[in-house]
Structure 1
């Protein structure tokens, strides 16, 4: 009988790892402590629950690195991308999903698989034998995190991640706000109107920044340091870096025309993106925050169109834990000191839903192959998946290792010769090369 693969954690990485291994014929025991043991950010016991944004970001697989990663995961038969497509919401060029039905669908598919067995219990220590993948994500339980620290002989790195608030759509004043995707992106009219936009003039923007900077914030406990991931900075941290930072970041007014006053160019724009299929919930794009709840309500109601808004969920902040993967993991994503254990997902230092799921898919394939008596080499570094795994298993500088989204800076450079000019053409060259390499890797 084939030995089972044990996976700790039913998030994006754990779900994808279980699916990949089971489809290779290896029995999987998926250990998920929820709903018996809750976390700060999760609301359900579903697998692959989306706790922050409901977006998998750009779906452009020809000129965007994360869109390319979408393409690779689809080509590899990934579960997350399949269920995301089934529960897709209009979001311009992005892949946004109806989060609860998406997670429920992933859960249903995993529980229905004849080779996947679910155990709802906490694993509080690294096992001494067997075949394991640790995919516990940024909210690894304190007991398991301590076991990892003891096993590696190194302190786990940590940063803080913030969650954006969600607004009830019916409480948004549409006589002020309007529907439009930036630059009217999207193939259908619905996609081109997927976002709700709230305009600010200069005075309103300055008042908002003043209130944001003065608002009461969540304080860190003694001994904790705020090592934020730059891709998910709280808005107040961005504002502290300069009063114009938000206006050139999540509140940039470019590519938008106020439907109520087309002749007036907004000084800044707050965008909200649909969060469920019914269109009853919208999240405020890029508005992760560590403000205390009372302060959030008063500050966000300064946004034109949200003066009478009601919030389905306010923002929050939680600790994200990850290991120093370049030091601790080999090219097969195995813990060097305990090679029967692999790590996958955000705990390895990749950042984002898609990146986490991709590393789960890869770890699941590698672990299953090893159990079956063969070896799967990592994808070529010219691919999105290969660039990520190369980065976390030795490509990054260990001393300054920080969470990283997939980006073309992780790929081997494209030869500038050959007549290709401009950034868009260069990115297209990256994706063309990657698709060819990934297709060959899958066939091998």
Structure 2
């Protein structure tokens, strides 16, 4: 790739973080070149040529302020995030969560990026970091080998890594509703989820099948390290036969209308598209082989005749040891003209990736103009994520979802957990407003 003029910002990667970074940088007046290797080349987990393709799930998680990701989404929404604009425009029913029609979502992002007068979308693979200019690397957890090698060389050490697994998607009209029923836990959110009940005998037979099933092996030189928030269902079973029953298969708050009682365990499916024709199996990320997935998952009551629009898969996720090699402004310490954004920095989750893209999209153009940019307050979700990347122990650094444990504690009287979380959210949004006004966002 030829070098570009120094007054432009190059963004590498058209995922959630790259699109958000490009959008914010262009909003700051920068001329942006956004490089995306699709459709010339696809990663092992992608198949759409659109930008911002969602792979693991269509859920952006909870909307309530009792969950830190709900607070983060509201912060991004108030900061005119393109990611949140697209999510709100393409939302589908999901109870207390924000879920999107994944195809409509990525199409929305692609259309907005292509139409922006200061963003030039280049469909080409970048195999090395450009030698000149301001660069934002948002190549994601599936960065190509060539670019990954160049990043590792410049960052001064090997990448850390973990494995991320994808849940299967089932066609809605292949679900047997003589056994399954629609409901949300405790009746909250109406009938947004499909529930497949298991008796005690069916549950333990399912667990034994998982434990004995054939899995996709890792390559010889790679060690399996799973992110705890995306643990494959078969790994849960290996940890303990009741682990899934206390995790994604817990029946609490889901009474079977045929019996009026909670079953021993439940498999839940969540709407995956706007028209409710596809449902993904909640919490069933997996690295089982395709034949084993079909054999074992069709043994679940209600899914005996299931047609799979997509089976689960496993892929390697790569991330930097951010406290070691990145500044608080997301710049590479060894070369400050290079910024990083998204999951490759060591955050986990769609919303978190977009949030770091948002920050990089502000930091890069203002640094290019030699302006001092105040960092988001640590009391905000944005500031808490930034602090995770900058202040964590390098020896124990691991990818992290946003959570209230990253926020500074509240001062004053003791509060119940739910009240404390809501108070932290109120503080976050109040402090965000002061920061926004200072930045004229």
Query: Are the counterparts in 2 of residues 13 and 344 from structure 1 also a CA contact under 8 Å?
Result: yes
- Equivalent residue for 1:149? 152
1:19 aligned counterpart, secondary structure: helix
Q: CA deviation at 1:371?
A: 2.2
Residue 432 of structure 2 is aligned to residue 438 of structure 1: yes
Q: CA deviation at 1:2?
A: 8.3
Query: Are the counterparts in 1 of residues 285 and 312 from structure 2 also a CA contact under 8 Å?
Result: yes
Which structure 2 residues correspond to residues 219-368 of structure 1 after superposition, within 5 A?
219-262=217-260, 264-368=261-365
Q: 2:396 aligns with which of 397, 400, 415?
A: 400
Q: 2:102 aligns with which of 82, 99, 103?
A: 99
Any idea what the Cα deviations from partners look like across 1:249-268, whole Å, max 9, x if unmatched?
A: 00000111112221x32000
Question: What CA distance in whole angstroms lies between the structure 2 residues aligned with 1:182 and 1:5?
Answer: 47
Unpaired runs of 5+ residues, structure 1, are 187-191
1:138 aligned counterpart, secondary structure: coil
Q: CA deviation at 1:375?
A: 2.3
Query: Are the counterparts in 2 of residues 346 and 352 from structure 1 also a CA contact under 8 Å?
Result: yes
Aligned length: 434
Any idea what the Cα deviations from partners look like across 1:182-207, whole Å, max 9, x if unmatched?
A: 22223xxxxx1110000001000011
Report the aligned-residue RMSD.
1.0
Q: 2:83 aligns with which of 77, 80, 83?
A: 80
Query: Are the counterparts in 2 of residues 92 and 184 from structure 1 also a CA contact under 8 Å?
Result: no
Question: What CA distance in whole angstroms lies between the structure 2 residues aligned with 1:19 and 1:233?
Answer: 32
- Equivalent residue for 1:177? 180
- Equivalent residue for 1:48? 52
Question: What CA distance in whole angstroms lies between the structure 2 residues aligned with 1:53 and 1:437?
Answer: 31
Query: Are the counterparts in 2 of residues 175 and 260 from structure 1 also a CA contact under 8 Å?
Result: no
Any idea what the Cα deviations from partners look like across 1:13-70, whole Å, max 9, x if unmatched?
A: 001001111111111100000110111111111111101100000011x321000000
Query: Are the counterparts in 2 of residues 2 and 372 from structure 1 also a CA contact under 8 Å?
Result: no
Q: 1:413 aligns with which of 409, 429, 433?
A: 409
More displaced, 370-379 or 433-442? Answer: 370-379
More displaced, 213-222 or 367-376? Answer: 367-376
Residue 130 of structure 2 is aligned to residue 136 of structure 1: no
Question: What CA distance in whole angstroms lies between the structure 1 residues aligned with 2:75 and 2:233?
Answer: 32
Question: What CA distance in whole angstroms lies between the structure 1 residues aligned with 2:389 and 2:408?
Answer: 15
1:402 aligned counterpart, secondary structure: coil
Any idea what the Cα deviations from partners look like across 1:345-389, whole Å, max 9, x if unmatched?
A: 000000000000000000001112122331222201110010001
- Equivalent residue for 1:3? 7
Query: Are the counterparts in 2 of residues 162 and 233 from structure 1 also a CA contact under 8 Å?
Result: yes
More displaced, 424-433 or 369-378? Answer: 369-378
Query: Are the counterparts in 1 of residues 11 and 35 from structure 2 also a CA contact under 8 Å?
Result: yes
Any idea what the Cα deviations from partners look like across 1:62-93, whole Å, max 9, x if unmatched?
A: 32100000000001100111111111000001
Q: 2:376 aligns with which of 379, 403, 410?
A: 379
2:236 aligned counterpart, secondary structure: helix
Unpaired runs of 5+ residues, structure 2, are none
Q: CA deviation at 1:129?
A: 1.6
Question: What CA distance in whole angstroms lies between the structure 1 residues aligned with 2:337 and 2:208?
Answer: 53
Question: What CA distance in whole angstroms lies between the structure 2 residues aligned with 1:126 and 1:15?
Answer: 18
1:85 aligned counterpart, secondary structure: helix
- Equivalent residue for 1:206? 204
Q: CA deviation at 1:126?
A: 1.7
Query: Are the counterparts in 1 of residues 174 and 305 from structure 2 also a CA contact under 8 Å?
Result: yes
Query: Are the counterparts in 2 of residues 332 and 377 from structure 1 also a CA contact under 8 Å?
Result: no
Any idea what the Cα deviations from partners look like across 1:133-186, whole Å, max 9, x if unmatched?
A: 000111000001100111122100111000000000000000100001122223
Q: 2:215 aligns with which of 173, 194, 217?
A: 217
- Equivalent residue for 1:165? 168
- Equivalent residue for 1:189? none
Question: What CA distance in whole angstroms lies between the structure 2 residues aligned with 1:114 and 1:128?
Answer: 25
Q: CA deviation at 1:303?
A: 0.6
Query: Are the counterparts in 2 of residues 2 and 27 from structure 1 also a CA contact under 8 Å?
Result: no
Question: What CA distance in whole angstroms lies between the structure 1 residues aligned with 2:416 and 2:273?
Answer: 37
Question: What CA distance in whole angstroms lies between the structure 2 residues aligned with 1:141 and 1:182?
Answer: 41
